Chain A
Amino acid sequence: MDTGRIKLEEFQLVPEHDLESPAKGSDHDGIIKLMSMDDTDMELDFIGFHISIVNAYRRIILAEVATMAIEKVYMYNNTSIVQDEVLAHRLGLVPLKVDPRFFEFRSKDEKEWGAQDSVKYELKVRCSKNPQASDKETNPDILYKDRKVLSSSLKWIPFGNQTDIFQESSMQPLHDDILLAKMNCGHLINLEAYAVKGIGSDHAKFQPGLSWYRLLPEIKLVREVEGEDALLLQKCFSPGVIDIITTSEGKNVAKVNDARNDACSRNVFQYDNIKDSVKMTRKTDHVIFYVESHSALKSHEILDEAVSIMIGKCDLLLAEIEKHLEMDADT
């Protein structure tokens, strides 16, 4: 286990290695701590795992965890000022509540739309005069009905046995108030859209969410910092990182409260009087990992899928190797 640190100096980053850690150890003793979790956001700590595995999860979340999004749009009528392709592009980016785990990937040469790989939506909106508006009304949103086409106008058209499996409320777009197009009186939009399962490396609309990580920052005061210098030191770091406490002799002394929230800006190196008073490092085996969801999957489900995909990759390769070993044993 690499319990090393990276020292943040003024102009460079210097790796520091722990002398006691073995050169070749195993990372079977890692811990995971969940710091906060919600349906949309998740923060957890990977302690004791190598960064390459954590990075693999981040890459998989961004590129290979599947979601559903509108892919093909059949335009029957579009007299609005929004061009066909622009409207189709905007429809593709609308996040849907459809759970991708119930669907299969569409095969490359498939011509028909099947119940097990696609979801059909319809958008039929016409902008007309509002008969209830008064004569003196100037606000166009009240003068005309359906002037703004929102994502709530997307209607799910079930086919096949989809009505047995899904309810209408779980097939709607994630947000009702996404503005798709604006129309003027007399304009009409009539289209059919098909949503399929895809992955982020194909198109960003299929990304289930965001994921990023950082290493845990550590701050150590090398010497005592008091008075004005202490206040300056407090300003150099993110709020809440450095506290000013009054010692028994009546001096105001700086103390490190919690380095976790520090943004590691290294502002302290701007000031000569406190430049030498702190040692800033980052722990290389403590990773703070964030997952943010903006699709149907919840944040912990996204991470779970990512780990399953990684296991799937290993399985696939292991099967190939076993095939090779069998072939060699036969010859």
Chain B
Amino acid sequence: MPIGADGFRLPTVNEPGSKNKLEMIRGAGQDEYCRTFVINEEDHTLGNALKHVLMQHPAVEVCGYTVPHPMERSIHVRVQTKGVPAIQVLHQSLTTLKNQNQMVKQLIQDEVTRAAVMHWLYPRFPAK
């Protein structure tokens, strides 16, 4: 997501003065197994997909995400687990999500190469 008035560039987390990518809220209702993670510079694109993968984790009791204010680019992901530390669950879910996406990428590439070989799939649109 772009930052600043020009909006030319996607921010990296190593810039001085930028917020951390991942933070944790401190306070009541937060411990090793129940955490609210604040992920900066993200929105529903990652939030919804991550929430879905988190729900499938067997150790997760409660999981949800929210965008606290639409003008601030951050999401709050709440994870409550039984027995496994919340940050580990987040790590495992992100790895699962990454693997799924890599699988999708491979599947798409296979299909596209297959279609290129059997170019009979093109007849719907006229060739340029």
The verdict on A34 contacting B112 (CB below 8 Å), with A41-B125, A307-B104, A311-B101 known, is yes
Q: Which of A286-307 contact B (CB under 8 A)?
A: 300, 303-304, 307
Is the beta-carbon distance between B100 and A27 smaller than 8 angstroms?
A: yes
Residue B82, interface by CB 8 Å = no
Given A26-B56, A320-B22, A325-B91 in contact, is the A56-B102 Cβ separation under 8 Å? no
- Max chain A Cβ within 10 angstroms of own Cβ: one of B7, B90, B112: B112
Task: For B10, give its contact among A53, A199, A308, A324 (CB under 8 Å).
Answer: A199
Shortest CB distance A121–B (Å)? 18
What residue of chain A has the Cβ atom nearest to residue B10's Cβ? Answer: A105
Partner of B100, one of A28, A41, A300, A308: A28
> Is B22 a contact partner of A59 (Cβ separation < 8 A)?
no
Contact yes or no, A202 B101, CB < 8 A: no
Residue of A nearest to B56 (CB): A24
CB distance A106 to B112 under 8 Å?
Answer: no
Is residue A214 within 8 Å, beta carbon to beta carbon, of the partner chain? no
A103-141 residues at the B interface, CB under 8 angstroms: 105-108
Which B residues are closer than 8 A to A by beta carbons?
1-4, 6-10, 13, 20-22, 39, 42-46, 48-49, 51-52, 55-58, 87, 90-91, 94-98, 100-105, 107-109, 111-112, 114-115, 121-122, 124-125, 128
Give me the interface of A with B, judged by CB distance under 8 Å. 24-28, 30-34, 36-41, 44, 49-50, 52-53, 55-56, 59-60, 63-64, 105-108, 196, 198-199, 201-203, 300, 303-304, 307-308, 310-311, 313-318, 320-322, 324-325, 328
